[in-house]
Structure 1
Amino acid sequence: MENIGIDTIWVLIAAALVMLMQAGFSLVEIGLTRAKNSINILMKNFVDFSAGSIIFWFFGFSLMFGEDVAGFIGFGDFMSDSNAIDGIPFKASLIFQTVFAATAATIVSGAIAERTKFSAYLIFSIIITAFIYPISGHWIWGGGWLSEMGFHDFAGSTVVHSVGAWVALAGAIVVGPRIGKYSSTGKSRVIPGHNLAFGALGVFILWFGWFGFNAGSQLAASGEDNAIAISHIFVTTNLSAVAGAMAAMIISWIRYKKPALSITMNGALAGLVGITAGCDIVSPGSALIIGAVAGTFLVLAVEFIDQKLKIDDPVGAVAVHGISGALGTIMVGLFATEGGLFYGGGTALLTTQIIGVVAVFLWAFIMGFLLFKLIKITVGVRVSSSEEQKGLDITEHGEEIYN
């Protein structure tokens, strides 16, 4: 019983840390966008957590962690209060998984910022938390077909971050770019954020919360083995983050002749996203490599998405959470100390990781695209041109961030 108490307290503390990440996301998003849309972004983050908590308690948790049905979906008593799950009380598992679900939804907010109807976003937020996230989550964490294959995503590089990013990608495509983002010839124009201090503070809050995100996924703190595991996860998480920040800074310095703060910030987040899948089973040295790879590809991915694909993602959410999440998940197949290719494990785990990444991409992107298309032809997804130019704060909410 004593162990249950210690384990439960640890999971609840970790859940609180992950909940704090909502503040980090809010600051990053308003910092990298224009002041006239700040209230709209903050409202979307409140909705993600508030509406998401209700719908995940009511519906999503059972679809994700209920009794497996054909490896595809879970089914159980909705809003149940069953016995312990993974050795901790049901309600501790529920709140821990709830804050993860809210994170997946929040990722989308930044990618479609500054031009999306608040009412449309509310509908989207409910659907991703109720169906899109829980179903693919069941495949991996709920006993579904990918978990049966041996797919490894310890804390959610793919389950949480890539799902949110691929839905965000679909949303950005359907909503279209902001007014003035691309010239008549298709050249990308920079629309600078209004406060990088907010953005930097947001990244540090996210970084802080990530220790709960990753180490909390151990789901236990009692005993020597759990203490060693949590300590290891803290180290790998931090090393990947710093490697991502340094790599992104160096690449930006080389390419743009200046070490850019906004890119360095996103590089740290890329490293954090990248290590989330394998933080428990890769060495500290491998964590450095994973973070460096994620930070390097972050710079290249932002350029490719913005300049080649002409997809307007104001905060780089698709590159940070989608590309880094996919790379980090795949690199588990290379660097896992048991089963990784570079540790004599052959290609079996690597192949499984690739299959999982592709399957989740197809699920999240297709469902996200269909959802945004459906919203577009019903209530509409985009504000009018005049509303976008005035700013969503005053036109959608009747308030301004700076009076």
Structure 2
Amino acid sequence: ERMKFTSYIVYSVVLTALVYPISGHWHWGGGWLFEMGFIDFAGSTLVHALGGFSAFAAAWILGPRIGKFNKDGSSNTIPGHSLPLAALGVFILWFGWFGFNGGSTLSGMSPGIGFIMVTTILASAAGMISALITYWIRAGHASTEMALNGILAGLVAITAGTANVTPVGSILIGLIAGPVLVFGMELIEKVLKIDDPVGAIAVHGFNGMWGTIAVGLFAYSGTNTLTAMGEVNGLFYGGGFGLLGVQVLGTVVISAWAFGTMALTFFVLKKTLGIRVTEREELEGLDISEHGTVSYPEFGYSSVPASGD
């Protein structure tokens, strides 16, 4: 809604060609985190926290949308154009997540795929319920948007340990993901004054961290047949603080790597290509200025002369 498309392309190339492959190698490529016993089965940190903290850097340097914050620091709600489409998108993501987590077994014949489906659906449902209830308590009313983001928060959180935690553990991880989402979004908007329209920082960044750290608490050796880690237990199953410490270390290092490198990238882009469109282009809509088209011609844009002209 406010970023130049050319700078977005450059940022995407840096993220996918440099930042993600390097941190991915640290674990999935047999690097130093793998050697330490770090567990992130399908990418709570390696995919989601990395993306979430990249978004954190982008939103911070880019600045808020026009009209988001008042002079006294209070924020205004800028609603999306279609809640039904948002819900449809979440349901598509929800369905696709079974392939995302299940596919990380790297074998369509793996008997553990069914187990992964169970932990995935339980965590996402728990995340939806806890996010809805938490927001209801905080705001005095239920929110469909928060329920939808709660689904995503639960999915993000379970992605690291989907093959390593019990069904009960997955429910607890999802239940905690909801409050992490709600309070995380409040922190970003009300305290840090950062404009994150879709809640990406809280959904992916904060819950990616939580889900990965949660493996150090809830990992159970009886479910570890799908990983190369062998007999590994988290703190709550008698494993001590060893795994928990490794999970915290890996999560913090990867998140800091993403935030630092992408903040530097956006700073350089801001000083060279520029990262933000003009005020007029932002108000007019980037479909017109950046892509030369109109997504919603029924709302005031027409090439047909008015009657009498």
Query: TM-score, normalised on structure 2?
Result: 0.91
Q: Which residue of 1 aligns with 2:239?
A: 345
Which of the pair has more CA radius of gyration?
A: 2
**Of 269, 292, 295, the match for 1:401:** 295
Give yes or no for the alignment of 1:170 onto 2:57.
yes
Q: Which residue of 2 aligns with 1:179?
A: 66
Letter in 2 for 1:192: P
Q: Which residue of 2 aligns with 1:202?
A: 89
Give yes or no for the alignment of 1:366 onto 2:260.
yes
Matched ranges for 1:115-134 at <5 A: 115-134=2-21
- 1:310-345 CA-to-partner distances (Å, cap 9, x unmatched) read 010000000000000000000000000032000000
Q: Which residue of 1 aligns with 2:286?
A: 392
| Percentage of pairs with the same residue | 55
Matched ranges for 1:196-275 at <5 A: 196-222=83-109, 226-227=110-111, 229-275=112-158
- 1:285-311 CA-to-partner distances (Å, cap 9, x unmatched) read 110000010011101100110110001
Write the distance in 1 (CA, Å) between the matches of 2:294 and 2:137.
39
Counterpart secondary structure, 1:174: helix
Q: Which residue of 1 aligns with 2:195?
A: 312
Counterpart secondary structure, 2:3: coil
Letter in 1 for 2:94: W
- 1:128-165 CA-to-partner distances (Å, cap 9, x unmatched) read 11001100111010011111100000000000011111
Counterpart secondary structure, 1:397: coil
**Of 51, 65, 76, the match for 1:189:** 76
Task: Compute the displacement of 1:239 (Å).
Answer: 0.2
Write the distance in 2 (CA, Å) between the matches of 1:185 and 1:250.
29
Matched ranges for 1:64-83 at <5 A: none
Letter in 2 for 1:389: L
Query: TM-score, normalised on structure 1?
Result: 0.70
Counterpart secondary structure, 1:191: coil
Task: Compute the displacement of 1:402 (Å).
Answer: 1.9
In structure 1, stretches of 5+ residues that fail to align are 1-113
Task: Compute the displacement of 1:221 (Å).
Answer: 3.1
Counterpart secondary structure, 2:214: helix
Give yes or no for the alignment of 1:302 onto 2:185.
yes
Letter in 2 for 1:139: W
Write the distance in 1 (CA, Å) between the matches of 2:295 and 2:170.
39
Letter in 2 for 1:243: A
Q: Which residue of 1 aligns with 2:22?
A: 135
Structure (1 or 2) with the greater helix fraction: 1
Task: Compute the displacement of 1:278 (Å).
Answer: 0.1
